[in-house]
């Protein structure tokens, strides 16, 4: 079984990002702060060794972690 890269929360956030939610909208919908959303995105980008949200989305799609 392949190991998952994302935590459940990170996956929720990136699924909302690809639905074109803003950081503020993600925070409101998940009942967390905008800073926490940004931290989850930053942590994910570090795990993937990519710069930028778009690169993270592309890599997560490639790895099968998220789907469009």
pLDDT at 35: 98
Q: How far apart are alpha carbons 23 and 48 in whole angstroms? A: 20
Over residues 20-61, the pLDDT tens digits come to: 999 999 999 999 999 999 999 999 999 999 999 999 999 999
Q: What is the DSSP letter of 15?
A: H
Q: What is the band of 4 on the pLDDT scale with cuts at 50, 70, 90?
A: confident
Note whether 50 and 63 are within 8 A (CB): no
**Which residues neighbour 51 within 8 Å (Cβ) at sequence distance 6 or greater?**
45
pTM above 0.85, yes or no: yes
Q: Does the pLDDT value for residue 2 go beyond 60?
A: no
* Closest to 52 in 3D by CA, of 42, 62, 61, 60: 42
């Amino acid at each position: 079984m392949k190991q998952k890269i994302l935590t459940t929360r990170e996956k929720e956030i990136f699924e909302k990002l690809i639905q074109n939610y803003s950081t503020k909208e993600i925070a409101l919908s998940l009942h967390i702060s905008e800073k926490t959303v940004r931290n989850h995105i930053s942590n994910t980008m570090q795990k993937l060794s990519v710069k930028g949200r778009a690169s993270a989305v592309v890599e997560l799609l490639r790895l099968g972690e998220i789907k469009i």
